[in-house]
């Protein structure tokens, strides 16, 4: 049976952030993930994890000015120093939190630039980050994101992500495979997971359309969960969806779709 991690950025949003750890544990989750820890004291976050018997499985590298619409800076040639500072900060947090993997949101293509213009910057940044994380005993991920939700995002498809892994050439870089984004962009969920499982470090989920709970859309999640088990994925699956009503009322999918 898959192991599910509550994404605290998306779930239990009726509560202040620091109260979501307890809510996740009470709801039966054993692990959590979320976008960013940097607005909070790392020791307070670690204490919340410990107090609630939770492990943290993922957070992102700093991604620029999120409130202003930035979604990563790894492909921005004029911000390499800022990116490297963010890598150091992310490692510091992840080490304290016992978080084994960090995701790099590579960002939107800068205005006026072409993909060829920024490719070398992105590869160099990811090589730097992969080395730094490996030294710290952590793994680096990159995530393709659909352009309906984030227009202009540089990395959109699994094949693009795999080509980027090849260009970086690090054994410490994997794909974060988000089922929702993949369904919107390319489909072929089962075959992609089967073919590239060895290069997938983490999976996230939501249904489509609407990015709601599994079972609210077109994806055959009971079949897909059995497939993920059958191909041997043993990692966590992050629940990064938007509850249709509230988180607790929508959690029945875990039993209904995995039994």
Q: Is the previous residue joined to 196 through a cis bond, with omega within 30 degrees of 0?
A: no
Q: Which CA distances in Å does 259 have to 204, 222, 227, 247, 254?
A: 19, 8, 14, 20, 8
Say how far apart CA 193 and CA 63 lie, in whole Å: 27
Active site residue 85: no
Report in angstroms the alpha-carbon separations of 118 from 6, 86, 107, 127, 251.
34, 19, 11, 14, 41
DSSP string for residues in 109-178: PPTT--HHHHHHHHHHHHHHHHHHHHHTT-EEEE----TTTSTTBS--SHHHHHHHHHHHT-TTEEEEEE
CA distance 57 to 97: 9
Question: What's the pLDDT at 1?
Answer: 77
List the end-to-end C-alpha distance of the chain, in Å, as a whole number. Answer: 8
pLDDT of residue 5: 98
Q: Catalytic site residue 240?
A: yes
List 82, 143, 213, 218, catalytic entry: 143
Q: What is the pLDDT of residue 257?
A: 83
Beta-bridged to residue 177, according to DSSP, are 203
Domains by residue range for the chain, with CATH: 14-256 (3.20.20.150)
Q: Indicate which residue of 67, 70, 124, 240 is catalytic.
A: 240
Per-residue pLDDT for the chain (259 aa), expressed as one digit of tens each? 789 999 999 999 999 999 999 999 999 999 999 999 999 999 999 999 999 999 999 999 999 999 999 999 999 999 999 999 999 999 999 999 999 999 999 999 999 899 998 999 999 999 999 999 999 999 999 999 999 999 999 999 999 999 999 999 999 999 999 999 999 999 999 999 999 999 999 999 999 999 999 999 999 999 999 999 999 999 999 999 999 999 999 999 998 888 7
Contact 176, 201 (CB under 8 A): yes
pLDDT score, position 161: 98
């Amino acid at each position: 049976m898959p192991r599910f991690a509550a994404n605290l950025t998306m779930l239990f949003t009726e509560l202040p952030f620091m109260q979501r750890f307890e809510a996740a544990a009470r709801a039966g989750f054993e692990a959590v993930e979320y976008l960013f820890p940097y607005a909070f004291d790392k020791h307070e976050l670690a204490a919340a994890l410990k107090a609630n018997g939770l492990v943290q499985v993922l957070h992102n590298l700093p991604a620029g000015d999120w409130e202003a619409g930035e979604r990563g800076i790894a492909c921005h040639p004029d911000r390499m120093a800022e990116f490297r500072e963010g890598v150091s900060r992310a490692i510091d947090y992840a080490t304290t939190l016992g978080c084994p993997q960090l995701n790099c949101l590579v960002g939107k293509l800068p205005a006026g630039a072409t993909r060829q213009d920024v490719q070398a910057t992105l590869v160099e940044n990811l090589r730097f980050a992969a080395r730094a994380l490996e030294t710290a005993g952590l793994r680096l991920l990159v995530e393709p994101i659909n352009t309906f939700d984030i227009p202009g995002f540089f990395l959109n498809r699994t094949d693009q992500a795999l080509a980027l892994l090849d260009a970086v050439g690090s054994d410490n870089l994997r794909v974060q495979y988000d089922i929702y984004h993949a369904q919107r962009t390319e489909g072929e969920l089962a075959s992609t997971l089967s073919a590239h499982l060895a290069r997938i470090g983490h999976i996230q989920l939501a249904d489509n359309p609407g990015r709601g709970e599994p079972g609210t859309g077109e994806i055959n999640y009971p079949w897909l969960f059995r497939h993920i088990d059958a191909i041997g994925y043993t990692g966590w699956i992050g629940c990064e969806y938007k509850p249709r009503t509230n988180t607790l009322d929508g959690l029945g999918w875990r039993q209904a779709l995995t039994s």
